[in-house]
Amino acid sequence: MKASSKRIFSILGSGVLFITALVIYALFIRPEYDNVQRLRSEVASRSQAVEQQKDVIKQIQRLLQEYQSVARLQETLSLALPQESDVAEALNQLNGAAQIGGLAIQSAAVQSLAIRPSSAPIKSAKGIGTLRFNTKISGDYEQIKRFLQMLETNVRLMDVKSLKIESGVDPTQKSAQKYLYNITVDVYYQAK
């Protein structure tokens, strides 16, 4: 074989190999490369969706925590400012404070005052209601101080409106140190 024939066969063989490489690339490699690109974009979009879901879950958890703190705040507010007048409970708290202070309630009268409209943006409450208790209590000076401290630190909101010594000595007591006090206390609640 001549050198020129060898050269032609060599060029034809190189051309066939090149065309075969192009066919293999076009038939096998290119479709798989497109498939890999599609899978990569799918993984990226799913990763982005997962991140968005994580953000949404964090926001929901934050809202739940805020709601729980609001619910706890509402419970605390309901203790300090109940949603009903509940005269018996208010009188029981006054009586309990008097007993802890060592005082004796001689008499108690309750009066429901007009409801004051609420200026706060509380939609459930129409206003603030007030129960006014006029009580006569017997005891000495130290006992009345303890009683007033108990009212000051009581969970339910209460105001002492007036405190008067009714008589110098309680006629039912033998001791000269006992006094009869006339105390007016306002107890508040949320009016519905």
The CA distance from 167 to 157, in Å, is: 29
In this predicted structure, what is the pLDDT of residue 124?
A: 53
The CA distance from 42 to 48, in Å, is: 10
Going by the DSSP 8-state scheme, the letter that residue 83 receives in this structure is: S
Strand partners, 90: none
In this predicted structure, what is the pLDDT of residue 77?
A: 78
The CA distance from 102 to 117, in Å, is: 37
In this predicted structure, what is the pLDDT of residue 64?
A: 84
CATH number of the 87-191 domain: 3.30.70.60
In this predicted structure, what is the pLDDT of residue 122?
A: 54
DSSP string for residues in 120-179 = S--SS--EEEEEEEEEEEEE-HHHHHHHHHHHHH-SS-EEEEEEEEEESS-TT-SSTT-E
In this predicted structure, what is the pLDDT of residue 120?
A: 60
User: What would you measure as the largest C-alpha separation in the chain, in angstroms?
Assistant: 149
Give, for all 192 residues of the chain, the pLDDT tens digit: 788 888 888 899 999 999 999 888 888 888 888 888 999 999 999 999 999 999 999 999 888 888 888 778 777 778 788 888 888 999 999 999 999 888 888 899 999 888 888 666 555 557 888 999 999 998 888 889 999 999 988 888 899 999 998 766 545 555 546 888 999 999 998 887
The CA distance from 101 to 145, in Å, is: 8
In this predicted structure, what is the pLDDT of residue 110?
A: 92
**Are 183 and 162 in contact, with CB atoms under 8 Å apart?**
yes
In this predicted structure, what is the pLDDT of residue 147?
A: 92
